[in-house]
Structures are given as structure tokens and as C-alpha cells.
Chains A and B, each alone.
Chain A
Amino acid sequence: MRWLLRLYPRQWRERYEEEMLAVLEEHQVSPATFIDLLMGALDANLHYDGCLEGVMYMVHRLRSGMVMIFCAFMLFEVGWGMLQRLNDPMTFFQAANRAHPVFGILHTAILIVGCLALVALLVGGLPIFFISVKRAVKNRKRDALAPFWVALSCLLLFILETAILADWHRIAFAKHHLVGFFLSYLIVVGIEFIVGTISVALTISRTEFQLRELKLLLIPEIVILFGMDVSVVLSTVLIILITVYAPQLFTTQDVGSPMFITGIIFMALGTIFAWMGHRRGTIKGFDPFTHT
């Protein structure tokens, strides 16, 4: 009967072929089944247009929106992390802060809202990721499990490399080639960060979710977007104030103005992409809470 199913449109087969074959294996096939499948194939070719509306469509939209927000937040976090280096070394920052206490207030506020967004991501995202992995293991979905193992490897490698870095003064190579050692660490961690982010995104995007599971993310999503928006605004204000009142910080701190500007750009781009993801997961006239 498999050949008969080939008469159905490709989109339809991607969605229903496997389960229909499972039904046909249990069903007593008769000439009526044959005619019924032919009629069904004709109807599907005339009327089936994929999941253009309804719960499945909403689930697809929410899931891809969620993946976009996750990737956008990772980009944002890189920029946010760069700006956190602003108070290093403390001496110069504190001196500027004594003259302009608003620097310290803004810096702390950026730290708090950034952390708030991160906590929201973990609270909303970890259960979703757990569901993804559990479902992939249960159904032996190799296409979802493979990126999970890659992501896990990246995390373990990152922990190992950071442990080595913490002990750098005992490593002869690091003592003699300090810059090279730190640069190598940054490059390797950067690659792992990108690969890990893509792998997590692939694991989630290859999982079949139910609408009620994805609804768990709706409130954390609002908190994440709020945190990102506020961080970008406050960071921009802070950089403008430093440029006007304490430009010496751009030369005295560990990171110079190019890094701060890059940080702001990453944060802004991340926030824009996150809003695009949010828009993707929102369908006019469809309420995910009531399914109507």
C-alpha cells in the first residue's frame, strides 16, 4: 500500500505517511481501502495546503519563534558580557563613579536586568529543552539526539577549558605565552558557544511539542524581551554619559571603545532578532491560551 500513499502530495506525506502506514499494517485491507485511499489522495491533492491554520500551525510558529528568541538572546548575552567588563579595573571605574554616581547605578541596573532575562530564559527554556531531549531519547530520534550530544560536549569542553584557564599560572606554556594562551581560550570558547547554541536550537526545532508545553514560555518570553530592551537603553545611556563625562574610561579599562560599541551592537541586534522571533510566535486572532 506504500505505493498508493505516493499519490498523496509531498507535504501531506511528510506529515501523515508514517502513522498512516502503521494504521494500514493493522488494518484489514480490502478493495474498499484501495478505493478510499485513491479518493483520499485525490482530495489531498485538491485541498491539502499544509498546516496553514489551527493548533499545529500555531505550534510550528511558536517553536520557531522560541528558537529565534533563544539564538537572539545568546547574541545579546555576548554584547552584555562585554559591557560588564566596563568596571575592570575597579580603581579607575570607582574614581569616575565618585564624580558621577550615575555610572555605578546604570552599570548595576544593566547587570540586574540582564541577569533577570537570563533567569527567565533558564526558567522557561530548561523545561522545554528537557522535554526535547526526553522525547528524542524515547522515540530514538537521532536527528534531535545528535545535536544534543554536540551541545553537551561543548558544555563539558567549556567547563574543562575554564578549569585549565583558572590554573594557568601552573602551566609553563601559559606563563611564557600569556596573550596567546588567553586568545586561544577565547577562540575555542567562542567556537563552542556558537556550535553549542546552534546545536540546542536544532534539538528544539526537531522536537514535536504540544501547545500547552510551549505556553510555559509565554511569560518568560515577555520577561526576556523586557530585560533585553531595558538593557539596551540603559547601556546606550551609560556609554553616552561616559563619552561626555569620563572618556578616559575608554582607554583605562580592560576593554576599549571598539569593544563597548561592538557590545552595544550585539545587544541591539539580539534585541531586534528577539522581537522578530516574538512576532513570529504571535498570530493575529489566535489566542494560544484558549486555542481559539
Chain B
Amino acid sequence: MSRTVSKRHRKQKIAFTILGLGLVLLLVFLLLMFYFILSKGLKVISWEFITQKPRNGMTEGGILPAILGTLYLTLGAVLLATPLGVLTAIYLTEYAKKGKIIRIIRIGVNNLAGVPSVVFGLFGLGIFVKYFGLGVSIFSGALTLSIVILPTIVRASEEAIISVPDEYRKASLALGATRWQTVKNVVLPAATPGILTGCILGIGRVAGETAPILFTAVTFFSMRLPNSIFDETMALPFHIYALVSEGTFPAKQIPIAYGTAVVLLTMVLLINLVAITLRIRYGDKTKHQ
């Protein structure tokens, strides 16, 4: 008896080790990737690199236009998508009756989240660039990206609204407030930190997206900064791709690509870190209530 028990425990030990190895493998690979990118990119980073325009046909100088372009595109997308996402979430959680309509809307949101990014690019090209005649521009790109992040914002807002305790609503309704007054004055303020987290996650996701802006917003080379939302623009992720695949002076341009990758990676990871920290803090708070 004791021998079979110890045999079973040994089996468990072996199995757990193998499972753990999987996780370790994953983490090691990722550390390796970060190490390579950082070790090659950090050398290039300097104050000039992030505050100056490219010079000499993209072989020298900085990446300021790409940083600004990504900033405009990302902020534009989040500003457009947030009202839409939050209102959708309010409808799903506070207004709709359980049943078919909710189910259909949720299938819509889930499927939108699963659409390949390059298909969003095709959609943006077909409708914003061509049909609405907005051309290849920041505006077209931001519109396209706003659809890409809509599902992220809907889900985060929904979660935030659901986690507002029901007593809040009941207290407000019992005082004679209408449903909308309750949502506006009680539920939304309480859900704001969660919704904000969703928006920040959306920013993190959208800042690195390349395929949706490929045909709708970006250009490889631009001497000047964009003047209006109807100008085309450079963008960080596209800049990396363009430098390594279309560049004509690889010896000088590939280091710039690594530098750009470090800037983009730092931006995205910082944004995610902020969102995750916010969520952990906020999550703890609701537990205490």
C-alpha cells in the first residue's frame, strides 16, 4: 500500500515538473526576446532620437514624427471608441432584458474582437479612405482603429459596471430617481476607475497595431509633422516594419528600427502596467466595501 502511494506521488512530482517546465520555457523565451531587443535598441536611444525628425533619407536623426503619429492615432481612436463602448456597456448591463437581444449583441462584440487586423485595414480602406473620401489620413486611421478597440472597451466597461454593488442602484431608485438618473449619478461615477482601466488597455493595444493603419493612415517617409487630421502620418509600429523590410541602407537603418522598437515596447508596457496596477488597486477597494 505505502509503495503504491509513494509511486503515485512520484508520478505527481514528475508531472508537475513537466508542467512547470512549460511555463518556464515560455517566460525564458520572452525574457530572451526582450533582452535582444533592448540590447540592440538601447544604444540608439538618446534625447535627440525621440525629439528630432529623421535626416538623410531615414539613416540618421530621430523618430519624432512617428512618435507623434502614433500618439494622434491612438488618442483619436480612444476618444472615438470610448463613448460608443461605454454606452453599449450601459445598455447591456442596465437596460436590456436578459435574452435574445443581449445574446446577439454579445455575439457581435465577440466576433468583432476576432476579426483579423488586416481585415479591419481592408474595411477602413474601402469605407473611410475610398467611400467617404477621407484619403490616407490620421482621421481614416483613427476611425479604423476605434473599431478595432471597441470590443476591449465594451468588455472592460461592462465588467466595471457589473461590479458596482446592487445596493447603490436600489438606494438611488428607492429615493425616487429614474433609471437614467441612477446610471448617470450613481453607477457611472462608481464604475469610472474600471472604465478608465479599459480605455488605457485599449490605448496599449492600439498603439502597437500596424495592419489596420497600413492602407489607411501611414507613410514611410515624411519630412514634416502632420498639420491636420487629414494628413498622412508616420507611426512607430509601421516605422519598424518599413525600416527592416523596405529600407535601402540596412546597416544604418536596422539600429534605428531596434531603437524604435524599444520606444514602442516601453510605451506599450508602461501603459499596460498602469492599467493593471489600477485594476489591482481598484479591485481591492471593491472587495473591502
Question: Are these two chains actual partners, yes or no?
Answer: no
Q: Which residues of B contact A (CB under 8 A)?
A: none
Q: Which residues of A contact B (CB under 8 A)?
A: none
